[in-house]
Amino acid sequence: MRVGEVATAPGGRVGSMRDGVLDQTFLLTGGDNSPNNYLLNVGHTGGGGWTTPRHRHTFDQVRYVLKGRYPVAKGVVMEEGSVGYFPESVHYGPQDRPEGLEMMVCQFGGASGQGFLSIPQREAANAALAKKGTFKDGVFTWIDEKGQRHNKDGSEACYEEATGKKSVYSKPRYDNIIIMEPAAYDWVSDDAKGVYMKWLGTFTERDTRLGFIRLDAGATFSAGMQPSIELLFLSKGAVTVQGKEYGERSAFEFAKNEGPIAVHAVQPSEFFCMVLPRF
């Protein structure tokens, strides 16, 4: 088990590949060069907002809006409390995050197995690219040795600089991003007393799962019982795990089949739950 707490987790401002101000707290990260590498962060949009052009990635993303409204594309807005699944290879945007927006984001390797770049890999690539060209409006521009001008999406340029490989997108498994409204789902009682589940969906052949877990005060949930990495983000309440108490916006990683590990609710509590793809 690993735990990340907002008060002590590292953070930083998103690199120069996009326009605007986006500060992130990095609660948990996976292992480099693993198909299940991931980054779980809480982001806060600063003054002036933060924008990107329409683009896509070679990895999956999950977004959970904690505060505010998130304009994810033209005419598409995720309301506070909503959850979005952004599959690899599927275009989205242009996005225009307003000042004050707070959102939990988990980026992780998708079903194709291409993995996800770690923060150090990404930032090293950004620094190298800054010596070769410029980023503007989410696009990286450079001039080659023949004097020809080139443009590339900033995220693609970062990936290719870090890996030395051209971005290759798997055939999209979905034709669009998937936005879920948790308030429209019912809670389903678990076998354990005082524990309730609200699974939102299971995605791809590798069984990525998204949902919520609710605990009454005094109830205990058995974590670490999944066949892949299980991530829990405490959105409400307080819990104790292995003798230590944790508050809101703490994040927990449980390795596959690591449990049972008892998560005990000190007060009524709620987790956002993700089970990463099975490899």
Read off the CATH number of the domain in which 242 is found.
2.60.120.10
Please tell me the predicted confidence (pLDDT) of residue 40.
98
The number of domains in the chain is 1
Chain centre to alpha carbon of residue 151: 27
- 229 assigned to some structural domain: yes
Element (H, E) at 226: none
Whether 1 shows a pLDDT value over 80: the answer reads: yes
| Amino acid symbol at 279 | F
- Work out the number of other CB atoms within 10 angstroms of the CB of residue 166: 8
Q: Is residue 188 part of a domain?
A: yes
Does residue 121 belong to any structural domain of this protein? no
User: 188: buried, middle or exposed (CB in 10 Å: 19+, 13-18, 0-12)?
Assistant: exposed
pLDDT in tens, 57-93: 999 999 999 999 999 999 999 999 999 999 999 999 9
Higher pLDDT, 83 or 134: 83
In this structure, is residue 55 part of a structural domain? no
| 189-205 core/surface letters (b: 16 or more CB in 10 A; e: else) | ebeeebbbebebeebbe
Query: How many Cβ atoms from other residues are within 10 Å of residue 89's Cβ?
Result: 19
Tell me, yes or no, whether 31 lies in a domain: no
What is the domain range of residue 232?
A: 179-275
Question: Does residue 156 belong to any structural domain of this protein?
Answer: no
Does a structural domain hold residue 218?
yes
Interval 266-276: pLDDT, tens: 999 999 999 99
Residue 169 within any structural domain of the chain = no
> Closest by alpha carbon to 190, among 168, 214, 208, 163?
214
